[in-house]
Amino acid sequence: MKTRFFFVFILLLALNLVLFAAPAELDIRMSDNAEMIVIIDDYSFDDGSGRYHITGLSHGYHNLEVYRLMYNSLNPHNEITTQLIYSGRIYLQSGYRTFAEVDRTGRLYILRKEKLYPSGHVGHYNNNGHYGNHGNNGNNSYIGGSYGYGGYGNIYGMEPAAFAELKHTIARTSFDSSKLEMAKFAASRNRMNSAQIAELTDLLSFDSSRLEFAKFAYHYVADPGSYFVVANTLTFSSSKRELFEYIGYGSGY
């Protein structure tokens, strides 16, 4: 019995070592696509890109600084200066690519995480560390999405049965504040599409709660280009206008 226990312990330990030895990746950008410089730990990425895909990172917390490039057109030499936008730490999970965004006010948002090695065929790495042109049934994708679809992952949202159970659980929750917290937690842990976010938003009783959740969930949604459907769940025109302004759409209200 002791021998068997020791063998299982060693097996689990080896498995954990293998998992945490897998690399992590960071895909980071400015929310307005401004040119920037990124420093992570002691490594600087300073080619003036508006987005960086950084590979080969270790599991755990990393020091992160993001500088915005500032062009002074009034200066005769058109000198470029930098402005520190974000300074802090970011947690990167082994075996996952973390997509992050920094806004103008210096807030860092984790948009989503995607497995680097999903089951099934994926594209091959090229020399720049990015995936090749063919993901699972998808052209020009970084990684084949869940359920075999290409692109930036599964735009088809959370698995239907699990989503139905989530809706049932939230609907049975008594207080709107509790519903809101549960919906936020689910949105931040699952890759939902805009239609699913709209369904969860509609479960909330008050427009203020719906607006708060709609703003929060936008940073995790799989298909931000379709997020206008979420506005249909809001009762007041002022709430719809505020949501559209928050996500950068022309409101029409």
30: CATH: 2.60.40
Q: Is residue 109 part of a domain?
A: yes
Tokens representing 119 are 């089951």
Last residue of a domain, one of 57, 81, 116: 116
CA distance 186 to 203: 13
Query: Which residue range(s) make up the domain with 66?
Result: 23-116
Helix (H) or strand (E) holding 237: helix 237-247
3-state secondary structure of 54: strand
Asked, for residue 211, whether it belongs to a domain, the answer is: yes
Burial class (CB in 10 A: 0-12, 13-18, 19+), 10: exposed
Residue 181 has pLDDT above 90, yes or no: yes
Q: Are 194 and 221 in contact (CB under 8 A)?
A: yes
Residue 170, in any domain of the structure = yes
Quote the pLDDT of residue 1: 52
Confidence band, pLDDT 50/70/90 cuts, at residue 77: low
Residue 124, pLDDT score: 33
Q: Which residue has the tokens 């020009």?
A: 140
Provide the pLDDT confidence category of residue 132 given band limits of 50, 70 and 90. Answer: very low
Q: Which of 66-70, 90-94, 101-105, 179-183 has the highest mean pLDDT?
A: 179-183
In a domain? residue 65:
yes
Domain for residue 63, yes or no? Answer: yes
Structural contact between residues 212 and 179, judged by C-beta atoms closer than 8 angstroms: no
Among 120, 127, 203, smallest CA distance to 154 is for: 120
Q: Please count the other Cβ atoms lying within 10 Å of the Cβ belonging to residue 188.
A: 13
Question: 116, 134, 150 — which closes off a domain?
Answer: 116
Do residues 234 and 246 make contact, with C-beta atoms less than 8 angstroms apart? no
Domain boundary among 54, 82, 116: 116
- Residue 218: which of 101, 73, 134 has the closest Cα? 101
Q: Does residue 174 share a domain with residue 112? A: no
Sort strands 96-102 and 24-30 into parallel, antiparallel or unpaired. parallel
pLDDT at 98 over 70: yes
Any domain includes 3: no
Q: Does the pLDDT value for residue 234 go beyond 50?
A: yes
Give first-to-last CA distance, the chain, whole Å.
71
Specify whether 31 is located in the same domain as 85.
Answer: yes
Cα(68)–Cα(221) distance, rounded to whole angstroms? 26
Tell me: the pLDDT tens digits for 22-55?
688 898 988 888 888 999 998 888 877 788 888 8
User: Do residues 110 and 169 both lie within one domain?
Assistant: no
Q: Is residue 122 part of a domain?
A: no
The runs of H, that is alpha helices, within 112-155 are none
- pTM comes to 0.42
Percent of the chain scoring above 70 in pLDDT: 70
One domain for residues 100 and 164: no
Query: Is the residue at 154 inside a domain?
Result: no
pLDDT at 136: 32
Which regions of 103-252 does DSSP assign to beta strands (E)?
108-115, 134-135, 138-139
Number of domains into which the chain is organized: 2
Q: What is the mean pLDDT of the chain?
A: 75
What are the structure tokens assigned to 103, written together? 């806004």
- 124: Cβ–Cβ under 8 A, 6 or more apart, which residues? 131, 132
Cβ-count burial 66-95 (b if 16+ within 10 Å, e if not): bbbbeeeeeeeeeeeeeeebbeeebebbbb
